[in-house]
């Protein structure tokens, strides 16, 4: 599976509402380490196809500023791992393939627990909006 591009406009759909775990590469056009990471990131996207969705968001696009700020990205490349719309881990900077695979495998193990033992935030919010009495204590 190829790496998908995302923007602030598609963030909700592709990250928050995703049924599968997601890794987002926060990248920049003039970032040498980002350019060096791209072929490896694409290769890993193929290797982990069906287990993890690989996405890329360009931090130097002003339209993405709100997402970049909310995600607390302070440097590129930054990989952030999401499960059911929640950040569960990150990797900052370039790394060689064995190190990234180790990180991804570790994150997938953690995400298995997230997938089976938690409720997505958007479902909780939706329930609260449709039945305000259910959230009363």
- The span from the CA of 101 to the CA of 6, in Å, is 23
Structure tokens at 118: 């938690």
Q: What local confidence, expressed as pLDDT, does residue 131 receive?
A: 63
Any idea where the domains of the chain sit in the sequence? 4-131
- Whether domain 4-131 has CATH 3.40.30.10: the reply is yes
**Exactly one of 22, 31, 58, 73 is catalytic; which is it?**
31
Residue 60 has pLDDT above 70, yes or no: yes
This prediction has a pTM of: 0.85
Mean pLDDT value across residues 116-124: 70
Q: Is 83 a catalytic residue?
A: no
Q: What local confidence, expressed as pLDDT, does residue 126 receive?
A: 58
Residue 120 has pLDDT above 80, yes or no: no
H helix runs in the chain, sequence order: 11, 32-47, 65-70, 97-117, 121-130
Q: What local confidence, expressed as pLDDT, does residue 124 receive?
A: 59
Q: Is 31 a catalytic residue?
A: yes
Q: What's the burial of 78, exposed, middle or buried (CB within 10 Å: 0-12/13-18/19+)?
A: buried
**Exactly one of 15, 34, 67, 71 is catalytic; which is it?**
34
Q: Sheet containing 78-83: which strands, arranged edge to edge?
A: 4-6, 53-58, 22-27, 78-83, 86-92
117 pLDDT band (50/70/90 cuts)?
Answer: confident
Residue 70 has pLDDT above 80, yes or no: yes
Q: What angle do CA 44, 97, 28 make, to 5 degrees?
A: 70
Q: What local confidence, expressed as pLDDT, does residue 137 receive?
A: 47
């Amino acid at each position: 599976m190829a790496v998908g591009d995302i923007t602030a406009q598609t963030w909700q759909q592709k990250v928050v509402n995703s049924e599968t775990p997601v890794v987002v590469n926060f990248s920049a056009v003039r970032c040498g380490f980002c350019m060096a990471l791209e072929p490896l990131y694409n290769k890993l996207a193929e290797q982990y196809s069906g287990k993890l969705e690989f996405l890329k968001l360009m931090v130097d696009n002003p339209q993405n500023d709100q997402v970049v700020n909310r995600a607390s990205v302070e440097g590129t490349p930054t990989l952030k791992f999401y499960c059911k719309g929640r950040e569960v881990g990150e990797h900052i900077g370039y790394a060689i393939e064995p190190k990234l695979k180790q990180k991804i495998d570790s994150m997938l193990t953690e995400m298995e627990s997230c997938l089976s033992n938690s409720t997505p935030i958007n479902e909780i919010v939706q329930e609260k909006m449709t039945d305000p009495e259910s959230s009363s204590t």
